[in-house]
């Protein structure tokens, strides 16, 4: 699945557009459709002929070593980079959660969550209520009026998640959002992400270098090796209790191998 | 991560100073006493050399004489009059200088065309010592208030412009990415990201500006003025009232310190988000 045949696209047709070509043979509805995507930086190829889909509500993890082009791919999907060739169909305004929480330090937490939300209701009361609700979902009600600099790393990431989800995005892009957190906080963030996903159901692309994180959370794993999608694998486990499933270790080894790392503890 | 802005802002240093103080385990009063020791010793030395006649009183009056001259000027209301005149000039000049500086920084900071058109001119003007413009200012604007206030405003404008411009141009690219993904339009970007991000730079400029305002004023008031601290001192020079000259100097010192402290207080209030730890 999802490794459809590549429809050749005439390259160098100027700026990429929303629907440079359309092939609608996929069974379920897709949120993201990437075809023949390549990206160069000063003549150095970073992404080569990338093809994949993300279906509505699907959770895809993108694994890769540093420098493999993961972040470049995410930036293209986030529409922060349009200097590519090929076709990318993605929602117009995906939400992004960055590795650093990227809260504006001069705005209090609630104002950060409300950033860019259209003002609704009298004096924006409706917008405000929505933002407060979202903060409650991530358990930060008490910190609504706090300055971002006073938050812990985990709290800041939760605020960042609230800001991303408050706009009810069709697509949520996450760039190693838990990479800088300690192991315990990361586990709690995983749990929170599962809950939020159940409730909001966005299509999700999680860029990570943590294999366990990918297997524990995602429906599908993509591996990017030197700018090429080298693996596209469904995770055959139900949502919970994955670590104890038979086959977990094998899957983990398989992905480790794909990333070119041998597990000493084998 | 320390951004360039943070590194530029004097307020940041205080945080480290506070930490160091705690680490040394010394009480605040002991430290204040230590800091006061230097000035007190200087005052004592002054007293000794002048009171013993080591240096003639016509060259260096005793601290007591200076104190008396000061009390006298306060008593007859002269000091208040001149102080008010000076403060008005400095305030008006500062007001217009800050407005013009900020407007220019916004134009050059937000528009590449504006930067190319305006920035080279300002960089060139900046190379000129502001006080050298005085003869020209007198010819153009006369010897009245307009000349004095204009010179102050011009002197004030440069640090405001340079620091605010640099802060806008140096805006954190990560926040610009965030603004793009949050769907902010140009105006929202300026309001929520650019301007708050440039405020620390603005305040750095403001502190330089306040110091420059006084500096320009001293010189401007010594030419063809009939009021102001500078005038008071020039007149005293003609009458060889060294004690009054010294009072004037002290007043300038106090004004400089007080205005700097005022700016710091405002900065701390406005930028309270950065000082919370």
pLDDT single digits (tens) B171-200: 888 999 999 999 899 999 999 999 999 999
Q: Do B192 and A147 touch (CB under 8 A)?
A: no
Q: Are residues A62 and A150 in the same domain?
A: no
Residue A89: inside a domain: yes
B interface test, pick of A78, A115, A175 with most B CB neighbours within 10 Å: A115
Work out the minimum CA distance from A95 to partner chain B, whole angstroms: 6
Same domain, A260 and A208: yes
Q: Are the beta carbons of B192 and A107 separated by less than 8 Å?
A: yes
Interface probe, candidates A82, A105, A119, A169, chain B, greatest B C-beta count within 10 A:
A105
Shared domain for A33 and A81, answered yes or no, is yes
pLDDT digits (tens, 9 = 90+) for B43-88: 899 889 988 888 888 888 888 889 999 999 999 999 999 999 999 9
**What residue of B is the nearest CA neighbor of A75?**
B177
Is B174 in Cβ contact with A102 (below 8 Å)? yes
- The stretch A202-214 carries a mean pLDDT of 92
The arithmetic mean of pLDDT across residues A107-124, rounded, is: 87
DSSP state of A169: -
Q: Which residues of A touch B177 (CB under 8 A)?
A: 80, 98, 102
Nearest to A78 among B181, B184, B192 (CB): B181
Q: Quick one: pLDDT at residue A28?
A: 66
Q: Would the pLDDT of A37 be above 80?
A: yes
Does residue B93 carry a pLDDT above 90? yes
Is the same domain home to A226 and A109? Answer: no
Asked whether the beta carbons of B79 and B235 are under 8 A apart, the reply is: no
Which chain B positions have a beta carbon within 8 Å of A93's beta carbon?
181, 183
Q: Give B96's pLDDT tier (boundaries 50, 70, 90).
A: very high
* Torsion of the alpha carbons at B104, B109, B110 and B111, rounded to the nearest 10: 80
Q: Mean per-residue pLDDT for A212-225?
A: 92
Residue of chain B with shortest Cα separation from A173: B181
pLDDT of residue A11: 41
Q: Which of A15, A17, A179 is nearest to A97 (CA)?
A: A179
Q: How far apart are CA B27 and CA B43, in angstroms?
A: 25
Instruction: Supply the pLDDT for residue A166.
Output: 93
Contact residues on chain A for B192, CB-CB shorter than 8 A: 104, 107, 115
- Residue B178 sits at the chain A interface (C-beta within 8 Å): yes
Which DSSP state fits B224? S
Same domain for A259 and A177: yes
Say whether both A180 and A83 belong to one domain: yes
User: Contact at 8 Å (CB) between A49 and A219?
Assistant: no
- Position B210 confidence tier, pLDDT thresholds 50, 70, 90: very high
Reduced to 3 states (helix: H, G, I; strand: E, B; else coil), residue A204 is strand
Match 């008071």 to its residue by tokens. B232
What does the domain layout of chain B look like in residue ranges?
28-60, 61-275
Q: What confidence score (pLDDT) does residue B50 get?
A: 87
Same domain (yes/no): A182, A80:
yes
A24 has pLDDT over 50: no
pLDDT tier, B5 (very low <50, low <70, confident <90, very high otherwise) = very low
Of A102, A147, A163, the CB nearest to B276: A147
Residue A114: band (very low, low, confident or very high) from pLDDT cuts 50, 70, 90: very high
pLDDT class for A265, splitting at 50, 70, 90? low
Q: Is pLDDT at A232 greater than 50 in this prediction?
A: yes
**Is residue B50 within 8 Å of B43, Cβ to Cβ?**
no
Q: Give the closest residue to B85 by CA, choosing from B225, B237, B263.
A: B225
**Residue A233 forms beta bridges with which residues?**
A221
Pick B196 or B20 by higher pLDDT: B196
Measure CA A98 to chain center.
Answer: 9
Mean pLDDT of A211-226: 92
Over range A41-52, report the average pLDDT.
91
CB contact under 8 A, A80 and B181: yes
Q: What is the mean pLDDT of residues B31-38?
A: 87
Confidence of residue B271 (pLDDT cuts 50, 70, 90): very high
Whole-angstrom distance, CA of residue A179 vs CA of residue A96: 15
Question: Which chain A residues contact residue B174 at CB under 8 A?
Answer: 98, 100, 102
Residue A18 domain-assigned? Answer: no
Give me the total of CB pairs closer than 8 Å, taking one residue from chain A and one from chain B: 55
d(CA B228, CA B217): 9
List the helix and strand counts (H, then E) for chain B.
14, 0
Write out the two tokens for A101.
């929480």
Work out the percent of chain B whose per-residue pLDDT is above 90.
56
Q: List the single residue in A78, A104, A147 with the smallest CB-CB distance to B175.
A: A104
* CA atoms within 13 Å, Cβ hemisphere of A116: 28
The pLDDT of residue B7 is above 60: no
Which DSSP string corresponds to A78-129? TTS---EEEEEE--SS-EEE-SS----TTS-HHHHHTTTPPP-SGGGHHHHH
Do residue A40 and residue A148 come from a single domain?
no
What percentage of chain A exceeds 90 in pLDDT? 56
Tell me, yes or no, whether A155 and A204 share the same domain: no
What is the pLDDT at residue A65?
86
**Which of A53-67, A161-175, B25-39, B77-91 is the least confident region?**
B25-39
| Domain identity same for A120 and A85 | no
pLDDT at position B143: 85
Predicted pLDDT of residue A33: 93
Is A100 domain-assigned? Answer: no
User: B107-152: per-residue pLDDT in tens?
Assistant: 999 999 999 999 999 998 888 888 888 889 989 998 888 999 999 9
pLDDT of B22 over the 90 cut? no
Number of folded domains that form chain A: 2
Question: Which tokens go with A19?
Answer: 């629907």
Query: By CA distance, what is A112's nearest residue in B?
Result: B192
CATH code for position A184 = 3.40.50.300
Same structural domain, A199 and A82: yes
pLDDT digits (tens, 9 = 90+) for A121-173: 777 888 999 999 999 999 999 999 999 999 999 999 999 999 999 989 999 99
Q: Cα separation of A115 and A123, whole Å? A: 15
B178 contacts on A by Cβ (under 8 Å)? 96, 98, 102, 104
Q: How far is B112 from chain A (nearest CA, A)?
A: 21
Residue among B182, B271, B276 whose CB faces A150 most closely: B276
Tell me which residue of A143, A157, A137, A153 sits closest to A111, measured CA to CA: A143
Q: Work out the average pLDDT over A239-244.
A: 81
Domain boundary among A116, A151, A168: A168
Q: How many helices (H) and strands (E) does chain A have?
A: 7, 9
The predicted pLDDT at position A62 comes to 95
Residues A78 and A182 in one domain: yes
pLDDT of residue B277: 45
Q: Which residues pair with A175 in a beta bridge?
A: A207
Q: Tell me how close the Cα of A141 comes to any Cα of chain B, in angstroms.
A: 19
What pLDDT is attached to residue A10? 41
Is the Cα torsion angle B150, B156, B159, B164 positive or negative in sign?
Answer: negative
Biggest CA pair distance of chain A: 62
- Spatial distance between the Cα atoms of B169 and B222, rounded to a whole number of angstroms: 39
Helix H or strand E segment including A194: helix A183-200
What is residue B200's predicted lDDT score, i.e. its pLDDT? Answer: 94
Please, which residues bridge with residue A64 across strands? A224
Instruction: Round to whole Å and give the CA distance between A229 and A68.
Output: 10
Alpha helices in B52-190 (DSSP H): 63-75, 78-110, 112-126, 134-141, 145-169, 173-181, 186-189
Q: In angstroms, what CA-CA distances link B18 with B4, B10, B38?
A: 21, 13, 21
* CA A264 to chain centroid: 30
Output the pLDDT for position B157: 96
Q: What is the mean pLDDT of chain B?
A: 86
Select from 1.10.760.10, 3.40.50.10140, 3.30.70.270, 1.10.3720.10 the CATH code of B61-275: 1.10.3720.10
Q: Domain ends where: A144, A168, A192?
A: A168
Q: Which residues of A touch B267 (CB under 8 A)?
A: none
Residues of chain A with a CB closer than 8 angstroms to some CB in chain B: 78-80, 93-96, 98, 100, 102, 104-107, 115-116, 147-150, 163
Quote the pLDDT of residue A6: 39
CA distance A27 to chain B (A): 30
Residue A205 has pLDDT above 70, yes or no: yes
pLDDT for position A156: 94
Stated as kind and residue range, the H or E segment containing A54 is strand A44-55
Range of the domain at A141: 105-168
Between A252 and B224, residue with greater pLDDT: A252
User: Rounded distance, CA A17 to CA A74, Å?
Assistant: 17
């Amino acid at each position: 699945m999802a490794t459809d045949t590549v429809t050749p696209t005439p390259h160098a047709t100027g700026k990429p557009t929303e629907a440079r070509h359309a092939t609608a043979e996929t069974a379920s509805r897709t949120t993201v459709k990437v075809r023949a995507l390549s990206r160069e930086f000063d003549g150095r190829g970073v992404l080569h002929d990338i093809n994949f889909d993300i279906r509505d509500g699907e959770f895809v993890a993108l694994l890769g070593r540093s420098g493999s082009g993961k972040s470049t791919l995410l930036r293209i999907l986030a529409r922060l980079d349009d200097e590519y060739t090929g076709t990318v169909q993605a929602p117009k305004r995906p939400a992004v959660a960055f590795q650093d929480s990227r809260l504006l330090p001069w705005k209090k937490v609630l104002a950060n969550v409300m950033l860019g939300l259209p003002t609704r209701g009298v004096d924006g009361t409706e917008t405000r209520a929505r933002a407060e609700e979202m903060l409650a979902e991530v358990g930060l009600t008490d910190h609504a009026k706090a300055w971002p600099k006073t938050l812990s790393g985990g709290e800041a990431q939760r605020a960042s998640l609230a800001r991303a989800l408050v706009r009810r995005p069709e697509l949520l892009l996450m760039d190693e959002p838990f990479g800088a957190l300690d192991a315990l906080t990361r586990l709690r963030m995983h749990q929170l992400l599962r809950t939020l996903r159940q409730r909001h159901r966005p299509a999700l692309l999680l860029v990570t270098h943590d294999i366990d994180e990918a297997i524990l959370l995602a429906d599908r794993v993509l591996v990017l090796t030197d700018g090429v999608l080298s693996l596209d694998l469904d995770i055959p486990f139900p949502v919970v209790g994955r670590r104890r499933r038979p086959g977990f270790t094998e899957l983990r080894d398989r992905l480790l191998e794909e990333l070119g790392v041998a597990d000493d503890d084998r | 991560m320390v951004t360039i802005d943070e590194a530029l802002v004097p307020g940041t240093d205080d945080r480290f100073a506070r930490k160091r103080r705690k680490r040394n385990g010394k009480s605040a009063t002991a430290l204040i006493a230590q800091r006061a020791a230097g000035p007190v010793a200087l005052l004592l030395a002054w007293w000794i050399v002048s009171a013993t006649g080591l240096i003639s009183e016509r060259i260096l009056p005793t601290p007591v004489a200076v104190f008396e001259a000061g009390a006298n000027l306060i008593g007859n209301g002269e000091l208040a009059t001149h102080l008010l005149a000076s403060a008005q000039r400095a305030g008006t000049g500062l007001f217009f200088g800050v407005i013009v500086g900020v407007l220019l920084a916004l134009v050059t900071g937000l528009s590449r065309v504006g930067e190319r058109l305006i920035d080279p001119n300002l960089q060139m003007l900046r190379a000129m010592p502001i006080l050298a413009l005085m003869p020209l200012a007198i010819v153009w604007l006369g010897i009245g208030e307009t000349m004095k206030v204009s010179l102050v405003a011009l002197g004030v404008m440069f640090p405001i412009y340079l620091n605010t411009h640099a802060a806008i141009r140096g805006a954190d690219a990560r926040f610009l990415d965030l603004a793009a993904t949050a769907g902010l339009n140009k105006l929202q970007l300026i309001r929520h990201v650019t301007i708050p991000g440039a405020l620390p730079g603005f305040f750095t400029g403001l502190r330089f500006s306040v110091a420059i305002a006084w500096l320009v004023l001293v010189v401007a008031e010594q030419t063809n003025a009939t009021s102001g601290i500078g005038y008071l001192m020039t007149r005293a020079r003609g009458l060889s009232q060294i004690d009054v000259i010294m009072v004037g100097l002290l007043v300038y010192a106090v004004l400089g310190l007080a205005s700097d402290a005022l700016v710091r207080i405002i900065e701390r209030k406005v930028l309270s988000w950065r000082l919370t730890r």
